[in-house]
Amino acid sequence: MTLSVAALFFLVRGCAWMPWNGGGPLVEVRVTVTNYFGMNVLKDRTLLLEEGSDAMRALQEAAEVRTAYGGGFIQAVDGLESAYGAGGSGERLDWFFYVNGHMADVGASAYVLRDGDRLIFDYHRWDYSMFTPALAGCFPRDLLRGYGGGFASCRVIYSRGWEDEAKGLARALGEAGGECAVEELEDGWSPRGGVLEVVLGPWEELVAVPTLAEAMRERRARGIYAYFDRGELVILDQCGRESLRIGEGAGLVTCTGPRLGEGGVLLITGIDREGTKRALEGLREQAEAQEPLMTMAWTDGLMLPVPAVEGL
């Protein structure tokens, strides 16, 4: 039997995946390459790699990668280049790395893969903020797996009148593999370390929570591109400029957290009760789509891009 050059190449390359070639255990990971804060999925592959491999190796198997600074920095993926105001444009474009939806606190070459990890490499501008603690669209399974070890437990915290909906969220988290408690929001609540927390309720009630109100005030430092102001939901563009204001019925799902590697809090809220319901229903639909969006906003049943896209 004579093999073609293409077939021979496939076999030689394929041997790298075979357990009898490396002689060691394998890990299965999913590599998703996106741009514009998770909005556009450019590539999505599931790979088997030798145990002990790093995230950079996984990306190199899934895409064409060019590195810099000794191989530890991603310069380009499939032709999309990092840029730092080239030609006086002022644009700052780069690749950002997430593990199971949580922004990594190390580079891709320093993160050792765990079996079942989902690696997300997103290409976006960082003129406004370099920090986005987690991708809300990775709820529930990916977020629950956590970064570098996962969460031992989770909690759904709800404002008064939202207990039934909170229990539904807890069931979804339980089905995804977490032990999830349901608690009513109390005065003085603050997030706990090592716990995936979901906070549910209209913003007019959540604004009284100091941790959440502070996050909205410090939105640039927290990587938040949508916030509430005088009874409206304000959506920013990727440069942090106000693009859109929505009133009654607006809903929002976003993450906030003070540290890399910790998603902190998944916030499900709205201008009013109707907006909060839209956010909750939209999150459920998004969980089925498994698209790693950073932030989601809704109005009149329509999901809006966050940050805002020019012309939409």
- So what's the pLDDT on residue 92? 87
Tens-digit pLDDT profile for residues 172-198: 999 888 889 999 999 888 888 788 899
Burial 2-25 (b: 16+ CB within 10 A, else e): eeeeeeeeeeeeeeeeeeeeeeee
Give the span between the Cα atoms of 288 and 5, in whole angstroms. Answer: 41
Query: What mean pLDDT is predicted for residues 71-95?
Result: 82
The predicted-structure confidence for 291-312, as pLDDT tens digits, reads as follows: 899 999 999 879 998 999 865 4
- 284 class by beta-carbon count within 10 Å (0-12 exposed, 13-18 middle, 19+ buried): middle
Can you give the pLDDT at residue 149? 77
Domains and CATH numbers, the chain: 5-125 (2.170.130.30), 136-306 (3.30.379)
Q: Are strands 265-270 and 251-256 parallel, antiparallel or unpaired?
A: antiparallel
- Specify the range with the lowest mean pLDDT, choosing from 13-22, 78-87, 174-183, 279-288: 13-22
